[in-house]
Chains A and B, each alone.
Chain A
Amino acid sequence: MSAVPASTVLHPVSKRRKRKDVIMRASLAAATALALVPLVLVLWYVAGRGIGAWSWHFFSTDPTGSFLGDPGGIRSAIVGTIMMVALATVISVPIGIGVALYLTEYGKESWFAKAVRYFVDVMTGVPSIVFGLFIYIVLILGGFGGGGYAGWKGSIALALLMLPVVTRSAEVVLLLVPQTLRESALALGSPRWRLIAKVVLPTALPGLVTGSLLAVARAAGETAPLLFTAAIVNGTSFNLGQRMNSLPVQIFTDVGQAQDRLVARAWGAALTLVILVLLLTLIARYMSRRSRLT
């Protein structure tokens, strides 16, 4: 770094201090390695035990509900997860981005915007099972739409969970859109809605997609809010108006039964779920890296 060796200006660092430095640096490195051990172990076991459960039969049949005979596969769980998460995305992404637009384009630092921002953060901290309870109370106890468990009710619970993630990440990205870009569009006489639609949103698009994908990944892995909103069902269920199966809930119930064949199915389903979630996360990361804003 410097042309003059440090020792010519300063006292040499004492042996004791040098030793402490090396020890501390080594232990920080060791702690980092330690932090990564569980990731490696989890992926190792899920891959090892999951792949053994995979077969054509595994992906092409539905759970039968049989404990002794053939337990069936996870087709309805995959379909249920995709359908419920898709509906949750359709609900939460426009609302989340809309709220973020309000915060960045209109509310800014007003007390109302600050309150909204604060409560969006509050929502981030709400445990997912509490969202499940809430939807149960409002949509099932309340007898809404038939009063039973249904896929779309699960979607709404997931949407509540995704909403704060989408909003906060969208706000961060929208704030990165250069202020000069906004100013030049307004100076050219563009109305604000056109500025938002033609300049702000397109510029921020990759970042918005990133945030939404991370929310999708999070929702896809959630079990708790689905337990008593969409429940679990054996056999085929491709209808959002009916009870619906999902990968996380399928894994949860199979673990609870602790029967060899059901446990094998749980590992297979876990591998499927992990691949799905990791793919979404990595795509999101890739997109955020390609975005010109960040």
Chain B
Amino acid sequence: MAASATTVSRSGDHPGLRGSPLSRLPDRALRIALTVLAAGILALIAFFFIRLYVEARPAFTKFGVLGFTFDNNWDVSRNVFGALPLVVGTLITSAVALIIGVPVAIAAALFVTELCPTRARGPLTVMLDLLAAVPSVVYGLWGVFVLIPKLKPAEQWVTDTLHFIPFIGGAAVAGPNYFIGGLILAIMILPIVSAITREVMATVPSDHKEAALALGATRWEMIRTAFLPYSRAGITGAAMLGLGRAIGETIAVTLVIGNAPQIGKHLFDQGYTLAAVIANEFGEAANNPVHRAALIAAGLVLFVLTLLVNAAARAFVVRGQHGDRAAAEPTGVAVA
């Protein structure tokens, strides 16, 4: 493709075919305009980063970068801001989301691409993708008024039964808690993880599948020996993109996490996340420069975290697509 492209532009420059200088003017203008537009994206992101950093700096100078990130004390009334409870809350809910969401997403992707009848494939795909179309705030609303009350007895039973397991057992269940937050996140990352897993699996050469089947493998053995090893990198990338989403997801979590700036000792304790604290407190922080800077700093930590996770995820997904399909990265239509 690249080779044919160069031939095209060269023949376009052929002296015999060249238009008058005037008629080539719009061409040059368009090229420059589009290049400026593209450069604007880079400038925007640089500007973005710098502005966030500048506004967050008062918090970092007051508490230190490490002090801000790892101090376990977020107290608005005393004007002390250590983000550790938020970081921990973000990590716990994201971990719950991955543990619940990723296996289900991969299983669904496998079922849709390999096992289900061809007629069911389209409708199933649409339904899985529709999970992504439900707005975050609607999941939050549903979480508050349906999930929290309905799951509470089950959570109490689990924590009573598994009282000997630290972190899970032996606590009184708070209505809003880490687990509910993680569960909602699991639902929200499921469609992305399964969509990308599907795309990665679509690149498994049919030779591999046929070879496995020809050797006498059952369907499951074919999946295990031909599919999973081939798409492992891509699936890892998909899971990490899910993690990126889970870290940054705001509104649904804000509604069901309890918004208590503490490090919960149990899965069913109330907590807080970086994104939720911004959504909740930013409105009231407008008149308190330290509070505002602390929240922007929380945003910056969130931004950097998602950046790192997404960069790693991209590397995995591109590697998982094995060259030929790397050009059509799966961040487009399928993810949206």
Contacts and interface: CB of A to CB of B under 8 A. Distances in A.
A32 B105 CA distance: 8
A223 B141 CA distance: 12
A292 interface: no
Contact of B55 (A137, A217, A228): A137
B2 to A, nearest CB: 6
Interface string A174-194: 010001001100110101110
A69 interface: no
B196 to A, nearest CB: 12
The interface residues of chain B, by DSSP majority, are classed as helix
Nearest to A131: B48
Contact of B108 (A20, A35, A192, A255): A35
Interface in A226-258: 227-228, 231, 248, 251-252, 255-256
B282 A228 contact: yes
A126 interface: yes
A274 B275 contact: no
A70 interface: no
A11 B216 contact: yes
A102 B248 contact: no
Contacts of B134: 39, 42-43, 221, 274, 277
A102 B130 contact: no
Interface residues of B, number: 102
B259 to A, nearest CB: 10
B11 A21 contact: no
Interface size class of A (residues with CB under 8 A): 35 or more
A227 B255 CA distance: 14
A124 B135 contact: no
B110 A28 contact: yes
Interface string A273-288: 1100110010001001
B310 A125 contact: yes
A17 to B, nearest CB: 6
Contacts, number: 291
B329 A251 contact: no
A129 B250 contact: yes
A41 B279 contact: no
Contact of B299 (A28, A129, A227): A129
A281 B130 contact: yes
Given A179-B1, A223-B251, A38 B27 contact: no
A290 interface: no
Nearest to B23: A191
A172 B134 CA distance: 24
Contacts of A214: 333, 336
Contacts of A231: 283
A45 interface: yes
A86 interface: no
B133 A278 contact: yes
Given A25-B219, A252-B137, 19 more contacts: A21-B220, A25-B220, A32-B124, A35-B107, A38-B131, A101-B34, A108-B2, A122-B310, A128-B248, A164-B331, A165-B336, A168-B332, A193-B29, A211-B333, A227-B282, A255-B144, A256-B255, A274-B134, A278-B133
22 contacts: A27-B107, A28-B111, A32-B112, A35-B131, A35-B190, A108-B2, A112-B39, A120-B41, A122-B307, A123-B45, A125-B307, A127-B250, A130-B303, A134-B51, A137-B52, A165-B336, A169-B332, A193-B26, A217-B336, A221-B134, A248-B251, A270-B138
